[in-house]
Amino acid sequence: MTHTPSAPHSVAPGHISVPVTPDALPALRRRVQAGLIATQILGGLGIAIGFALAAVLARDVSGTEALSGLASTASVAGSALVAVPLATLMTRRGRRAGLVLAYLLAAVGAGVVVLGAVLGNFPLLLAGLVGFGAGSSANLAARFAAADLAEPDRRARAISTVVWATTIGAVLGPNVAAPAGKSVSGLGIPAAAGPFVWAAGVFVLAAAVVAVLLRPDPLLTARALDAGAGGAPEGRSLRAGMEAVRRSPRARIALVTIAGAHTAMVSIMSMTPVALTHHGAGIQLVGLVISGHITGMYAFSPLMGWLSDRLGRLAVIGLAVGLIGTAALVAGTAGASHGRTALGLFILGLGWSAALVSGSALLTDSVPQAARAAVQGLSDFVMNTAAGLGGLAAGLIVAKAGYGPLNAIAACLLLPMAALALRGAVRKA
């Protein structure tokens, strides 16, 4: 596709025009990416601060370990509930409007979590965690914002750079959970709820950064540059997104990969703090193990992006299957060995990173530009719904059978991923 350098392009009627010429596009890509990196750092920090002790807080407030898995379930359910409305809003108003709203919802949710903890009200705590999940929706949606303006052969690397930025805040988050807990001593707030006080403030700051820095909006700009930007509005509906996935076998591979890997990761990670405390681990050790896991999730994403662009999306999906399977074996057989558990969680993070980056790039590659925002929202809805159910089952499995069987069951989720990726590779060959 070619564009006349002197002719600016504008988005659909009803939106602010975004004058862009091909010569200005590289600088625009860098500016948008810088804004996304800043928000990912803050968003990652807010999510990780709260999530580090969410299962422990749920156990303390509910009074039973069997319900501790509901903490991750509620948070992931919130991400799922927000995903489709968020995609709809972004489709109509652009990435910036959606991200600002999602971060503000997360801040409100964190405040409700604190209130539920203070009152000892478990349903209220879960309601807050549902709102808190909007922060994850925002951070997940940001990876697709990075792909909006990227060149096709560098799309995975663009996604991975933004995913990588989450490392800074996400690794720091669990390690400040203990200081956050101490900071509320004397205020009548349980120590395990202290991290959510800090998370609320961080999410408000993230929303402010998005509002200021994410200009011009990458999705609206991408549409302005696309020859079909003036196409029928129904091409951008959720129904059109579902139809685009139905028509594309590779989009279905991507959807199953993202959902399967995320569900396996959430199921194992959410119950690891509980398993560690069973074997005498304290809050600081739990924080270190989760930090190592999050390092695996985000720090190596540029490598996964480079591999996805160089070797192909399906090859890296195969790598993800191998890594997550290995992680389940190592963590599931760790027993009282905190070191083995930490190693398993680190490998689990690597596998999730490989699946998310390659799957997201494959999904974006496989559908028309007009349907991408809807398809991406559908993807986040499916992955978070599946992971929410996985988190719910994880608590029950650990309570009834143990942490080892949980890992074995999570590994079984890899089978559809592996089968579809292998079939896709054979077809391509």
Q: pLDDT tens digits for the chain (429 residues)? A: 444 444 444 444 334 444 566 677 777 888 888 888 888 888 888 887 777 777 778 887 877 776 776 787 788 778 878 888 888 888 888 889 999 999 999 999 999 998 988 898 989 989 999 999 899 889 888 888 888 888 888 889 989 888 888 778 777 777 777 787 777 777 777 777 788 888 899 999 999 998 988 888 888 888 777 754 444 444 556 677 788 888 888 999 999 999 999 999 989 988 888 888 887 777 778 878 887 888 898 889 999 999 999 999 999 999 999 999 999 999 989 888 888 999 999 999 999 999 999 999 999 888 887 788 888 888 888 887 888 788 778 888 988 888 999 999 999 988 988 888 888 776 765
Task: Kindly report the backbone phi and psi dihedral angles of residue 227, in degrees, each rounded to the nearest multiple of 5, phi listed first.
Answer: -65, -25
At 362 the pLDDT is: 93
At 5 the pLDDT is: 42
At 227 the pLDDT is: 54
> How many Cα atoms within 13 Å fall on the side-chain side of residue 60?
17
Q: In this structure, how many other beta carbons lie within 10 angstroms of the beta carbon of residue 290?
A: 27
Under 8 Å between Cβ of 69 and 391: yes
At 305 the pLDDT is: 94
Report the distance separating Cα 86 and Cα 44, nearest Å.
18
At 1 the pLDDT is: 41
At 429 the pLDDT is: 53
Q: In this structure, how many other beta carbons lie within 10 angstroms of the beta carbon of residue 368?
A: 16
**Which of 380, 363, 373, 376 is CA-nearest to residue 83?**
380
At 353 the pLDDT is: 94
Report the distance separating Cα 348 and Cα 116, nearest Å.
31
Report the distance separating Cα 235 and Cα 371, nearest Å.
6
At 428 the pLDDT is: 66
Under 8 Å between Cβ of 363 and 379: yes
Report the distance separating Cα 45 and Cα 263, nearest Å.
21
What is the b/e burial string over 171-193, where b = at least 16 CB atoms within 10 angstroms of the residue's CB?
bbbbbbbbebbebbeeeebbbbb
**Which of 287, 327, 294, 335 is CA-nearest to residue 410?**
327
Q: Whole-prediction pTM value?
A: 0.76
**Which of 166, 301, 137, 144 is CA-nearest to residue 217?**
144
Task: Kindly report the backbone phi and psi dihedral angles of residue 133, in degrees, each rounded to the nearest multiple of 5, phi listed first.
Answer: -65, -20
Max CA distance (Å), the chain: 67
Please count the residues of the chain. Answer: 429
